[in-house]
Amino acid sequence: MSSSAVARAWRRSLRDVLLRGSAWRGGASTRPASTASASGAATEAAAAPKKVPPPPRKGRLLTGALIGLAIGGGAYVSTADEAKFCGWLFKATELVNPLFAMLDAEFAHSLAVKAAAHGFVPREKRPDPPVLGLDVWGRKFANPIGLAAGFDKNAEAVEGLLGMGFGFVEVGSVTPHPQEGNPKPRIFRLREHGAVINRCGFNSEGIVVVAKRLGAQHGKRKMEETSTSTSPSTSDIKQGGKAGPGILGVNLGKNKTSEDAAADYVQGVHTLSQYADYLVINISSPNTPGLRKLQGRKQLKDLVKKVQAARDEMQWAEDGPPPLLVKIAPDLSKQDLEDIAAVALALRLDGLIISNTTVSRPPPVDTHSLAQETGGLSGKPLFDLSTNILREMYILTRGKIPLIGCGGVSSGEDAYKKIRSGATLVQLYTALAYAGPALIPRIKAELAECLERDGFKSVQEAVGADFR
């Protein structure tokens, strides 16, 4: 898109915001003139209309900030090339992000998802540093930084999130039937620790709704591929995924009241696997009663066998079925880890995600006023615990299966430590909630600097480097 075209788009956005603001305030100004004149003296004699209360102060601040960004962006874009303008947009989100911190945590989360779903987030136009590219499961990842499950639970904003520059995005957890999850409030910020406690409990719109959304996105992707005049690649490595230029993972959960966990996961596979570049069996949330018991050796083996069979019995094109991963908890004993590793190797799992949130409250979180809230802890305090589990699992699996490092990542250096500890890919979530979209290009640039500083020519070269 040319600078002039972008400028026109900014002017239209600003006009729409202003018009919506006028309509929102209501009153006689929004009333058609013909209606006003027809009312005549009867209207004059009527009681004065009720006063419309002004919008909440937080809402006015957020709207004002958006308008300010629109004005500033419109002025800037006329003199900037696309790359510079893209960088400015990501930087500008730092001005808006503190306003989200003033809102209730779950409402702010919902607002962020809606913003991404409707394109009100910056879109990355700059190529990633070549050193970040890697191939996993026959797919080419532009970079190893992904968004963990839990942010876009219902696949509302896949295109917008991938467009922000993530190498991959994981939606869910998705349950077979809709469920509201646990009572609110259920998300608590621990700002001074860069942490969050949540006890959402797999709140989900269900697989039918998610399948419709992903099906529409998949159809759009296919149409774009059909209309592209470029000849197909002869490489065995496929560029991008089923949802666009990035890779899409679908995280599957079970319903709280379900008595047959395997049946729930099988239903998820049958309904959603056709839209996924990889699938995840989530048996690690601390907020669904009995879920973590599925991490036991026998239970896990039986579950994975049934889910693998359900996937493999489906008809697949030449790309084959999507890889199947399991997401585990950080609160595991040495024996637990050995059992999981044995099952993963024996059944040839395609990967493990390490890890979900923790029920422990490591220092200094243990002294926080919210430490007694039940639920899973995520964010910076989880980093050391999840990384130690990652290192143990890399040793136990001898690096034979890809591991995704998740938990407490908030910088390029954090991502690099996960990779050196055995992670092929890295996920984040809580850091995005605190830092906003500006975190994404920053963390990729920092990771590239770490790799180049230590003489690695690719991410793959650095995987498990601490053990060599």
DSSP sequence for 73-117: HHHHHTTS-HHHHHHHHHHHHHHHHHHHHTS-HHHHHHHHHHHHH
Of the two residues 229 and 435, the one the predictor is more confident about is: 435
Long-range pairs for 342-346: beta carbons < 8 A, 24 or more residues apart = 342/297, 343/297, 343/300, 343/301, 343/304, 344/397, 344/401, 345/397, 345/400, 345/401, 346/301
pLDDT at 330 over 50: yes
pLDDT for 319: 84
- Between strands 278-282 and 247-252, the pairing is parallel
Lowest mean pLDDT segment, chosen from 73-82, 210-219, 399-408? 73-82
CA distance 406 to 344: 18
Contact 143, 444 (CB under 8 A): yes
> What average pLDDT does range 394-412 have in this prediction?
97
> What average pLDDT does range 365-381 have in this prediction?
95
pLDDT for 230: 52
> What value does the mean pLDDT of the chain take?
86
pLDDT at 333 over 70: yes
229 is catalytic: no
Rounded to 5 degrees, what are φ and ψ at 350?
Answer: -85, -10
pLDDT for 226: 74
Q: Is 26 helix (H, G, I), strand (E, B) or coil?
A: coil
Contact 124, 86 (CB under 8 A): yes
pLDDT for 82: 80
Of the two residues 227 and 129, the one the predictor is more confident about is: 129
Catalytic residue among 13, 173, 204, 285: 285
pLDDT for 178: 98
Q: Which residues of 301-318 are buried (b: 16+ CB within 10 A; e: fewer)?
A: bebbebbbebbeeeeeee
CA distance 257 to 255: 6
Of 143, 147, 181, residue with least CA distance to 460: 143
For residue 370, name the pLDDT band (cuts at 50, 70, 90): very high
pLDDT at 24 over 60: no
> What average pLDDT does range 405-420 have in this prediction?
98
pLDDT for 318: 84
Read off the amino acid at residue 192: E
For residue 9, name the pLDDT band (cuts at 50, 70, 90): low
CB atoms within 10 A of CB 460: 15
Q: How do residues 31-87 score in pLDDT, each as one tens digit? A: 444 444 444 444 444 444 444 455 556 555 565 555 555 545 554 544 457 888 899
Residue 319 has which token pair? 């790309």
pLDDT at 427 over 70: yes
pLDDT at 360 over 80: yes
pLDDT for 70: 52
pLDDT for 131: 98
Q: How do residues 301-317 score in pLDDT, each as one tens digit? A: 999 999 999 999 999 98
pLDDT at 443 over 90: yes
**Of the ranges 54-68, 85-99, 224-238, which is most confident?**
85-99
Q: Which residues pair with 190 in a beta bridge?
A: 195
From residue 461, alpha-carbon distances to 135, 291, 412 in Å are: 12, 36, 16
pLDDT for 235: 53
CA distance 277 to 27: 51
Contact 278, 311 (CB under 8 A): no
Contact 378, 151 (CB under 8 A): no
Please name the CATH architecture into which domain 128-226+237-462 falls: Alpha-Beta Barrel (3.20)
> What average pLDDT does range 251-276 have in this prediction?
96
Contact 241, 277 (CB under 8 A): yes
pLDDT for 12: 59
Of 351, 252, 248, residue with least CA distance to 307: 252
Q: How do residues 159-188 score in pLDDT, each as one tens digit? A: 999 999 999 999 999 999 999 999 999 999
Q: Which residues pair with 377 in a beta bridge?
A: 197, 358
> What average pLDDT does range 111-126 have in this prediction?
95
> What average pLDDT does range 86-110 have in this prediction?
92
Contact 390, 423 (CB under 8 A): yes
Residue 41's contacts (CB-CB under 8 Å, 6 or more residues apart) are none
Question: In the chain, pLDDT over 90 holds for what percent of residues?
Answer: 72
Residue spans per domain, the chain: 128-226+237-462
